[in-house]
Amino acid sequence: MLNVGLARQWLASFSAALCMAIAGTVFTWLTPIAVQLTSKDSPMPMSEMQRSWVTGCASIGNTLSCIPIGVIAYRWGRKPVLLAAGPVALLGWILILSTRSIPVLYLASVIHGFTMATAFCISSVYIAEIASPKIRGALCGQFMTLYYLALAYVDILAYCTNYTLYISLLTILPALYTVLFCFMPETPYHLMKTGKDSKVVEALNWLSPQNDGNIGDKFIEMKTSVNNNFSWKDFFHVKSQRRAMIIVMIAYCLKCFGGQISLQVYTTQILSTLTGNSSYSIILTTVSNIILCITCFISGFLSDTLGRRPVMYVTSFASGIFHLVVMIYFFAYSSNLKSFSTVNLWIIFVSMTLALILGNASMSIFLPTISAEYFSTEGRTLGSGIVHAVAGLAAFISIISYQAIKDYVGDYFNFLIFAVCSFV
């Protein structure tokens, strides 16, 4: 028999996770068309460094927005902030559609950074606060599934359409998200904090199974757990919150410098360099993202059964091994120690894909859940905002430094850094 309450939790979580899908599109939309835009026949001519800065500006917008978004979500609610992400993303796409100017692209990317900040800071908090403990890990894991599904969506659109139609079709997702999320409830925890007891009961009734006799107990439990005197200073003065902040912040920075961010941006460019065929490289990247999406979906369900910490240790170490394989390949290839062949291409493609899959399993899936669970109920949005501001800065550095390291040292050194961070 269908459990209506759990079905509604899945629906609300899916709606919030669509914001992550939008974040995936605004962050990686340049990836499948990077080779085209840096070529002589580009509809918007740009250099490789300008291309990296366009993507990097999204991380700048993300960094600047995270803490204000966390404060707003703490004071006025999770839903209003999440709901604003759709129209803001639409504004960015409209700017991109209407210009052929690189500075305007920088501006649009900074605006898109707001949507990224909202997705990464608030989506996981919203899902954690509406989800039952038994399925929280699965639901938080699935919001990363939609992120990688969006990456495959971007690749397919880029392969099948021209530049203008490509950008136009990317506006569909934020429009759909805005309409759907309008009908979702605010989280019971925020309603409780603001003293709206009647709305808390309504939200609990909507999210709980039919004829659930424990709603009264849940209400009392939430009432006793909410502390309206929480302050951002508690992150530094309260030992448990300070420890949670440090652990989660280090983990997110290792994720950024461990290749999870840079490879989302540069995979198509890397494969295009190796194959000499941009269309073929897009197909390979699409396959990689689809595999990531499937494994992310499966891994989300495993987090509540196998345990987060053991899986993170094993998969991080294995991801580092595959980064080392790619590093050795690039070092040998750039030094002309062996000739390039189809076998070499498949070795590097499979190794990069496995490194992404394992790194995704260790960090991208579990970090949102861990972040939501480590912080107290009152500190989730503020803590998430601070952590993701630092992570956004780390992402910006990793994106810009990748291109600089590639130009002045070589691709192999980037993958050496990825391997070291994965092992750490």
- pLDDT of amino acid 337: 44
Question: How many domains does one find in the chain?
Answer: 1
Stronger pLDDT, 236 or 13, i.e. the higher one: 13
Q: pLDDT tens digits for 324-347?
A: 888 888 887 765 544 556 777 788
User: What is d(CA 40, CA 154) in angstroms, rounded to the nearest whole number?
Assistant: 23
**Residue 222 placed within a domain:** no
Report whether pLDDT(154) > 60. Answer: yes
Query: Domain range spanning residue 310?
Result: 4-184+227-423
- Four-residue CA torsion sign, 130, 132, 133, 136: negative
Both structure tokens of 75: 């004071």
Report whether pLDDT(224) > 70. Answer: no
Report DSSP letters for 157-206, one per residue: HHHHS-HHHHHHHHTHHHHHHHHHHTTSPPPHHHHHHTT-HHHHHHHHHH
User: What is d(CA 262, CA 269) in angstroms, rounded to the nearest whole number?
Assistant: 11
Q: pLDDT tens digits for 363-382?
A: 655 666 566 556 666 666 67
**Ramachandran region of residue 3, left (φ > 0), alpha (ψ -120 to 50) or beta?**
beta
Token pair 């120690």 is at which residue?
A: 337
Stronger pLDDT, 418 or 178, i.e. the higher one: 178
User: What is d(CA 364, CA 73) in angstroms, rounded to the nearest whole number?
Assistant: 22
- pLDDT of amino acid 83: 92
Between CA 416 and CA 423, with CA 420 as vertex, the angle to 5 degrees is 140
Report whether pLDDT(54) > 60. Answer: yes
Query: Residue 229: which of 238, 239, 221 has the closest Cα?
Result: 238
- Four-residue CA torsion sign, 125, 131, 134, 137: negative
CATH number for 380: 1.20.1250.20
